[in-house]
């Protein structure tokens, strides 16, 4: 079978020029970029029409091939220019349509919601203000602290069983994420002489995770050191807190219970419980059926702690207390899961 005759150089150039005209006619009615790009690929792609014509290039005399190559480049440039021109025309038409729309400039704008402080920030500020009414100033300290400040100065040596209650995150042998803000109390007593009256709000970390506990949470602790400080003064401060924080916020109010308990750094020590706000003492999942919710611990400062910071326990006495800010907010606002504070769900946060 005889092979078809090779096209002439002029025939190939004419074929390429016709493709430029055909492409211009093909995109004239198109009104979106995606369809235009697909049409462009039909002409310039590896299996496109221009490539099909260029396959005949090898059958031409070597001297004629540059002329056909120049024609192919001219066609490619023309197709690209046609696409850009068509896109510019469509964009100009869209702008004209947008500008032609009637806009009533006298209509009010769409309102946008304003931001507000996170619930835990609000509660922390309110607790600081309540203690401020009693003369407590705010003290702060590092979240990454030494083992000595977090434990040993608080009468908890390395083999003390109370350390197991803390479930500590260790960053190095002697460096930990603080499990409470009590090291702020230690640093304050080392830096200042009595009388001392501070609260220490801040973030703390423990290996704990359930509906009422989180590995990271916030506490507020208080410290008062002076002459003739009594346990009745501690009860008075905490009762004042309950009356101010919950007064009028919940119908029927809450009861406070001081339950004897052990903490290495206070003697005597107590657990501070509030009536469960969800079941009103009847027993539920949150209070584990007891009718009470533990809020924090408190007690009179142990003389061993005073000895560690150089305060004379014969001359001065004091008390300390600590409570979870998340737990206080849960009781006040009937929040059943501590994780809601940290999920960033605006449906929850916008309620407060």
pLDDT in tens, 1-32: 555 666 777 877 788 788 888 888 888 888 88
Both tokens assigned to 23 = 């492409």
Report helix angle 325-333 to 119-132, nearest 10: 100
- Predicted confidence at residue 53, as pLDDT, reads 75
Contacts 24+ apart (CB under 8 A), 61-69: 61/9, 64/9, 67/9, 67/13, 68/9, 68/12, 68/13, 68/16
- What proportion of the chain, given as a percentage, has pLDDT over 90? 33
- Predicted confidence at residue 248, as pLDDT, reads 46
Rounded CA separation 10/4 (Å): 17
Local confidence band at 211 (pLDDT 50, 70, 90 cut-offs): low
More confident residue, 269 or 70: 269
More confident residue, 120 or 54: 120
- Predicted confidence at residue 99, as pLDDT, reads 75
More confident residue, 256 or 153: 153
Rounded CA separation 343/352 (Å): 15
Report the chain's terminal Cα–Cα distance, integer Å: 89
State the average pLDDT for the chain: 84
- Find all residues with CB under 8 Å of 53, minimum gap 6, and list them: 12, 15, 16, 19, 72
pLDDT at residue 46 tops 50? yes
Residue ranges of domains in the chain: 9-100, 119-349
Which tens digits make up the pLDDT trace of 273-284? 877 767 767 788
- Predicted confidence at residue 254, as pLDDT, reads 65
Fold annotation for 119-349: BirA Bifunctional Protein; domain 2 (3.30.930)
- What proportion of the chain, given as a percentage, has pLDDT over 70? 92
Closest CA to 90 of 21, 28, 40, 26: 28
Rounded CA separation 111/11 (Å): 67
Cβ-contact 55, 48 below 8 angstroms: no
Rounded CA separation 346/232 (Å): 43
Closest CA to 274 of 247, 260, 254, 290: 254
Q: Which residues of 151-162 are buried (b: 16+ CB within 10 A; e: fewer)?
A: bbbbbbeeeeee
How much is the average pLDDT of 251-268?
Answer: 80
* Phi, psi torsion values for 282, nearest 5 degrees: -80, -20
Which tens digits make up the pLDDT trace of 96-110? 887 777 777 788 887
Which tens digits make up the pLDDT trace of 314-348? 999 999 999 999 888 988 888 888 888 888 888 88
Q: Which residues of 256-266 are buried (b: 16+ CB within 10 A; e: fewer)?
A: bebeeeebbbb
Identify whether 195 is preceded by a cis peptide bond (ω within 30 of 0).
yes
- Predicted confidence at residue 168, as pLDDT, reads 84
pLDDT at residue 126 tops 90? yes
Which tens digits make up the pLDDT trace of 152-204? 999 888 877 767 666 888 888 889 999 899 999 999 999 999 999 999 999 99
- Predicted confidence at residue 36, as pLDDT, reads 81
Helix count and strand count (H, E) for the chain: 12, 9
Local confidence band at 212 (pLDDT 50, 70, 90 cut-offs): low
Local confidence band at 145 (pLDDT 50, 70, 90 cut-offs): very high
- Predicted confidence at residue 128, as pLDDT, reads 96
Both tokens assigned to 200 = 């220490």
- Predicted confidence at residue 249, as pLDDT, reads 42
Closest CA to 225 of 151, 141, 315, 291: 315
- Predicted confidence at residue 337, as pLDDT, reads 82
- Predicted confidence at residue 250, as pLDDT, reads 42
Cβ-contact 283, 291 below 8 angstroms: yes
- Predicted confidence at residue 251, as pLDDT, reads 39
Local confidence band at 300 (pLDDT 50, 70, 90 cut-offs): very high
* Sign of the dihedral defined by the CA atoms of residues 300, 304, 308, 314, in that order: positive
């Amino acid at each position: 079978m005889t092979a078809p005759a090779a096209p002439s150089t002029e025939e190939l150039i004419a074929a390429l020029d016709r493709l430029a005209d055909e492409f211009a006619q093909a995109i004239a009615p198109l009104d979106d970029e995606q369809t235009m790009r697909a049409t462009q690929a039909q002409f310039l792609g590896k299996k496109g029409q221009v490539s099909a014509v260029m396959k005949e290039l090898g059958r031409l005399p070597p001297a004629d091939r540059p002329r056909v190559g120049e024609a192919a480049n001219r066609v490619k440039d023309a197709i690209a220019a046609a696409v850009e021109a068509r896109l510019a025309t469509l964009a100009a038409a869209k702008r004209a349509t947008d500008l032609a729309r009637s806009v009533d400039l006298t209509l009010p704008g769409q309102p946008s919601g304003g931001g507000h402080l996170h619930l835990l920030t609000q509660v922390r500020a309110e607790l600081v203000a309540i203690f401020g009414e009693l003369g407590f100033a705010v003290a702060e300290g590092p979240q990454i602290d030494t083992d000595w400040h977090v434990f040993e100065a608080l009468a908890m040596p390395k083999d003390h069983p109370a350390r197991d209650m803390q479930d500590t995150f260790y960053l190095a042998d002697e460096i930990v994420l603080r499990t409470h803000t009590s090291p702020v109390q230690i640093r304050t007593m080392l830096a200042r002489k009595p009388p001392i009256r501070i609260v220490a709000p801040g973030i703390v970390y423990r290996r704990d995770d359930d509906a009422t506990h989180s590995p990271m949470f916030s506490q507020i602790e208080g410290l008062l050191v002076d002459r003739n400080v009594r346990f009745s003064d501690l009860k008075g401060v905490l009762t004042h807190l309950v009356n101010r924080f919950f007064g009028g916020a919940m119908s029927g109010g809450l009861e406070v219970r001081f339950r004897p308990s052990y903490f290495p750094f206070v003697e005597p020590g107590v657990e501070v419980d509030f009536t469960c706000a969800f079941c009103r003492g009847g027993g539920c999942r949150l209070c584990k059926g007891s009718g009470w919710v533990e809020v924090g611990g408190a007690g009179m400062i142990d003389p061993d702690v005073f000895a560690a910071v150089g305060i004379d326990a014969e001359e001065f006495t004091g008390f300390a207390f600590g409570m979870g800010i998340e737990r206080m907010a849960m009781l006040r606002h009937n929040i059943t899961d501590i994780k809601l504070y940290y999920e960033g769900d605006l449906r929850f946060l916008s309620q407060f």
